[in-house]
Amino acid sequence: MSLCPRISLKPEVTEYLKSVFLNKEVLAAVGHQEAESRFQKLLTCLTHPPSYTCVRASTHLASLDEIKHKLGEELRNQMCSSSAEQVSLQILPHPQIPDVLLLPVYGPRSVKQLVSEVVVGAQCGSAVLRGAHVFAPGIIASPKYMKAGDVVSVFSDLEGKCTRGATSFQGKRVFVGNGVAEMDRSSIFCKNEPPKGIGVRMVEPLYQSPPFDGVLPNLVFLQNLPSVVAGHVLGPRPGERILDMCAAPGGKTCHIAALMGDQGEVVALDRIRNKIDRINQNAQILNLRSIKAFHFNSTRAVSTDPTQKTEGPPFPPESFDRVLLDAPCSGLGQRPNMANTWSLKEICSYQPLQRKLFHAAVRLLKRGGVLVYSTCTVTLAENEEQVAWALDTFPCLRLQPQEPHIGAEGMLGAGLSPEQLRLLQRFRPELSWDETEMTAPLPCRASRDTIGFFIAKFLKN
């Protein structure tokens, strides 16, 4: 079995997405055949990883050239010491983004499946397709007598139906490559102690891309290209006070602090307590001291007592120069994603929460300040419709041009004008799956063949 041809969704969700991508405005602009073809390409490309791995370089600590050189050395050493088959190592700077390095992903390759099978959770399977090894907690099933050193085929359980500790699984699954077990089965499913470390070291992954675990942790940070773009679009400057409302695990928080040369203050909030540790760990690894992370529900981040001045939330209105609202969303732009078991109700549940967060964001922003709203999903309801609603609800907001603007413009269907759509940035991987685009020069393709993502930038008057 190779990779799924199309993402597996509940039929009601496929129908919903189809109605979004074949909405009246789109049909009038490009016609039924083209709209349908783009939609089918989207469903297909979501099951494949982007054709590049993107790392953000800590250019606040060293130059891009130095980091590129060190990364090359480190990855070559890693390749020499591993038994994985060798592939050529290419590291390219991004032509428009000064702190990004790109590494091509090779695949899908033809890999022969073996008799011994290990089954991993869908999240772990997606990480393997992006170059990771299998970490032991991700393993759900393994052969009964598996010993360290056994060569196994790894499968991803698409619907979360495999029972933990099973010895085989015949449900919906997809092959992600071959590897060598680093642990016996008994250590993986040990009742007393949760397993730690690599469970299966991938030697023949379906997609070849270097694993970044522990590679130059203070100099490179694995991050999707559109997420790096969002940090630049926010445009933080040294000395400013910035709010990152939904911050964990802190990828964008750390980028913002780095762009400010670690001068000023970046307040990072997240509603999930144990995720705050991740933000602090990342800040520490990247040597960033301007970050202050708090466990807090950002819908309540505006203080009702405007005279109150505390270091942490809630904050008085108009406390921040810039606000990033990287909103919790349905995540349908994530790649690779071979199956999503959510109901339509779950997919549609984010719009009201995003609006509550938006209300708080606008109140917390100073006049003359910048608000960036972003999601990693492809629906209109969480993207362009939110922009139309925000412009209607907050007359003080104006859409702003984005720099860099390497994605497509906003999608038709939410009643926004052509000028407004041009100011939005929607990363649409399906457009990079046209035959002409498949042969585009490498860095150009990297800008387009990304996860699905959306960015809007507003100025508060």
Minimum Å gap between C-beta 272 and ligand SAM is 4
Read off the amino acid at residue 315. Answer: F
- Per the document, the length of the chain is 461
The whole-angstrom separation of Cα 270 and Cα 122 is: 25
User: Any contact of residue 451 with ligand SAM (CB under 6 A)?
Assistant: no
Strand order in the sheet with 92-93: 92-93, 100-104, 52-57, 220-222
Looking at 54, 162, 376, 444, which residue is catalytic? 376
Residue from 14, 37, 297, 400 binding ligand SAM (CB under 6 A): 297
The whole-angstrom separation of Cα 443 and Cα 65 is: 17
Residue from 174, 180, 248, 339 binding ligand SAM (CB under 6 A): 248
Contact 107, 63 (CB under 8 A): no
Residue from 143, 249, 264, 316 binding ligand SAM (CB under 6 A): 249
Contact 387, 400 (CB under 8 A): no
The whole-angstrom separation of Cα 211 and Cα 224 is: 15
Q: What does DSSP say about strands 265-270 and 241-244: parallel, antiparallel, or unpaired? A: parallel
User: Any contact of residue 227 with ligand SAM (CB under 6 A)?
Assistant: yes
Residue from 132, 180, 269, 339 binding ligand SAM (CB under 6 A): 269
User: Any contact of residue 222 with ligand SAM (CB under 6 A)?
Assistant: no
Contacts with ligand SAM in 324-363 (CB under 6 A)? 326, 328
User: Any contact of residue 299 with ligand SAM (CB under 6 A)?
Assistant: yes
The whole-angstrom separation of Cα 361 and Cα 359 is: 5
DSSP 90-152: --EE-SS-TTEEEEE-B--------SSEEEEEHHHHHHHHTTPPEEGGGEEE--TT--TT-EE
102 vs 372, beta carbon nearer ligand SAM: 372
Contact 283, 257 (CB under 8 A): yes
Residue from 53, 298, 386, 450 binding ligand SAM (CB under 6 A): 298
> For ligand SAM, which stretch binds (CB under 6 A), given 4-12, 47-55, 138-146, 245-253?
245-253
13 vs 324, beta carbon nearer ligand SAM: 324
Contacts with ligand SAM in 84-103 (CB under 6 A)? none
- Which residues does residue 118 pair with via DSSP β-bridges, in sequence order? 154
198 vs 325, beta carbon nearer ligand SAM: 325
**Number of residues located near ligand SAM, criterion CB under 6 A:** 18
User: Any contact of residue 420 with ligand SAM (CB under 6 A)?
Assistant: no
Kind and range of the H or E element at 72?
helix 64-81
Contacts with ligand SAM in 22-51 (CB under 6 A)? none
| Residue with the CB atom nearest ligand SAM in the bound state | 246
User: Any contact of residue 240 with ligand SAM (CB under 6 A)?
Assistant: no
User: Any contact of residue 217 with ligand SAM (CB under 6 A)?
Assistant: no
Kind and range of the H or E element at 221?
strand 220-222
55 vs 118, beta carbon nearer ligand SAM: 55
148 vs 272, beta carbon nearer ligand SAM: 272
User: Any contact of residue 280 with ligand SAM (CB under 6 A)?
Assistant: no
Q: In 269-280, which positions are buried (b, 16+ CB within 10 angstroms) versus exposed (e)? A: bbbeeeebebbe
The whole-angstrom separation of Cα 175 and Cα 139 is: 14
Active site includes 329? no
User: Any contact of residue 443 with ligand SAM (CB under 6 A)?
Assistant: no
User: Any contact of residue 382 with ligand SAM (CB under 6 A)?
Assistant: no
Residue from 70, 275, 355, 405 binding ligand SAM (CB under 6 A): 275
User: Any contact of residue 134 with ligand SAM (CB under 6 A)?
Assistant: no
- 191 contact partners, CB below 8 Å, separation of at least 6: none
Which positions lie near ligand SAM, rule CB under 6 A?
227, 246-252, 269-272, 275, 297-299, 326, 328
Residues with active-site annotation: 376
